[in-house]
């Protein structure tokens, strides 16, 4: 397929590279020039990248970035043609997604939101999991592209529902990790160290994928970003905004959001979100350690 890929950040670049590897014809664009993908044509603007493409696939930071790629000067909108498909793998607002979808549908273009779960490593190995919102017929046409970049995709409903599912997923990750971090802080303060507690966590119903993934990093005090705190903070804020729009109250997430805000003030925005632990440690006057740290 002829695909325009817009946004070559940590996730977007390896995703575009996997599309090239699978034999698709790629044109790519990134806001800051200088990033390219081997085997793909680099374009000077989103409109230029999307000209003649069957699919334009976005992976940029936030709602504003998607809006500007689509509708800004030299945006994708200028190159839209009847039957083209727009796909967004950024994590952004579900209600804004619906509005963007309506605007392009007026031109005969289907809009599919396809945020993903999985780290940089999953983007590189083509094993992402997509949560997808959009018309079934459009999603069917995109199957070869999902297969090139991911291992699974789930249709959540119509346009916007992929984003809704993604926010619900990251809400859980943020709260589960916060529970783990608070447990480690309290246990340490009461004299039980992290390595003694961990096997009990893993053997009991408390165990979770989040804890399994994060524990080794925490024990080594390795807070290099796998998923940067600033992006998890963005997703927490998106979830709270979406909740407000539909009049849902999320008191746990509201409190966790304050912790992310303070962690950002402490200069931890570019560390992994696991670094929220350091705030709890500061307040308790302890440091959670593994034997090897
Ligand atoms: P990164 O590595 O921070 O990359 C962000 C990308 O978004 C990068 O290509 C940016 O271009 C681009 N960007 C940011 N703002 C804009 C605007 N205003 N216009 C156009 N392009 C922009 O993020 P990830 O790849 O880890 O994540 C991407 C999304 O997936 C995000 O929503 C995550 O939550 C999930 P730059 O190179 O800075 O010019």
Instruction: State pLDDT tens for residues 121-150.
Output: 899 999 999 999 999 999 999 999 999 999
- Ligand 1 atom with the smallest distance to the CA of 89 is 30
Domain total of the chain? 2
Summarize pLDDT for 87-124 with one digit per residue, the tens: 999 999 999 999 999 999 999 999 999 999 988 889 99
**What's the predicted TM-score (pTM) here?**
0.94
CATH number of the domain residue 92 falls in: 3.40.50.720
73 with 187, same domain? Answer: no
At residue 90, the pLDDT reads 98
69 falls within a domain:
yes
Same domain, 215 and 153: no
Please state, rounded to an integer, the average pLDDT across all residues of the chain. 96
Best residue among 7, 29, 117, 231 to mutate for probing ligand 1, ranked by most atoms within 8 Å of CB = 7
Q: Which atom of ligand 1 is nearest to the CA of 35?
A: 37
CA of 115 to the centre of ligand 1 (A): 13
Residue 49: CB within 6 Å of ligand 1? no
Position in ligand 1 atom list of the atom nearest CA 235:
34
- Same domain for 27 and 140? yes
Residue 12 in contact with ligand 1 by CB distance below 6 A:
yes
Q: Are residues 198 and 243 in the same domain?
A: yes
Give the structural domain span for 17. Answer: 2-158
Residues 71 and 202 in one domain: no
Place of tokens 């549908």: 105
Q: For this structure, is 249 an active site residue?
A: no
The answer to whether residue 291 is domain-embedded is: no
Q: Are residues 13 and 118 in the same domain?
A: yes
Is 36 domain-assigned? yes
């Amino acid at each position: 397929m002829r695909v325009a890929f817009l946004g070559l950040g940590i996730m977007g670049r390896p995703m575009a590279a996997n599309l090239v590897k699978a034999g698709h014809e790629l044109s790519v664009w990134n806001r800051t020039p200088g990033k390219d993908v081997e085997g793909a044509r680099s374009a000077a603007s989103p409109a230029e990248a999307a000209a003649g493409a069957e699919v334009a696939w976005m992976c940029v930071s936030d709602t504003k970035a998607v809006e500007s790629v689509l509708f800004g000067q030299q945006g994708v909108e200028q190159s839209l043609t009847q039957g083209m498909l727009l796909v967004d793998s950024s994590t952004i607002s579900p209600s804004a997604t619906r509005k963007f979808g309506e605007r392009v549908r007026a031109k005969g273009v289907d809009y599919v939101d396809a945020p993903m779960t999985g780290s940089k490593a999953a983007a590189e190995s083509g094993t992402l999991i997509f949560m997808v919102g959009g018309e079934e017929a459009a999603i069917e046409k995109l199957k070869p592209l999902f297969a090139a970049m991911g291992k699974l995709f789930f249709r959540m409903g119509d346009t916007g529902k992929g984003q809704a599912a993604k926010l619900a997923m990251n809400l859980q990750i943020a709260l589960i990790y916060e529970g783990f971090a608070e447990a480690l802080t309290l246990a340490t303060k009461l004299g039980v160290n992290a390595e003694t507690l961990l096997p009990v966590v893993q053997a009991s119903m408390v165990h979770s994928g989040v804890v399994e993934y994060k524990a080794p990093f925490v024990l080594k005090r390795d807070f290099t970003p796998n998923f940067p705190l600033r992006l998890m903070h963005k997703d927490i804020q998106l979830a709270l905004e979406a909740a407000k729009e539909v009049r849902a109250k999320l008191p746990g997430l509201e409190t966790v959001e304050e912790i992310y805000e303070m962690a950002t003030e402490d200069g931890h925005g570019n560390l992994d979100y696991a670094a929220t632990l350091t705030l709890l440690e500061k307040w308790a006057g302890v440091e959670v350690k593994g034997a090897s740290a």
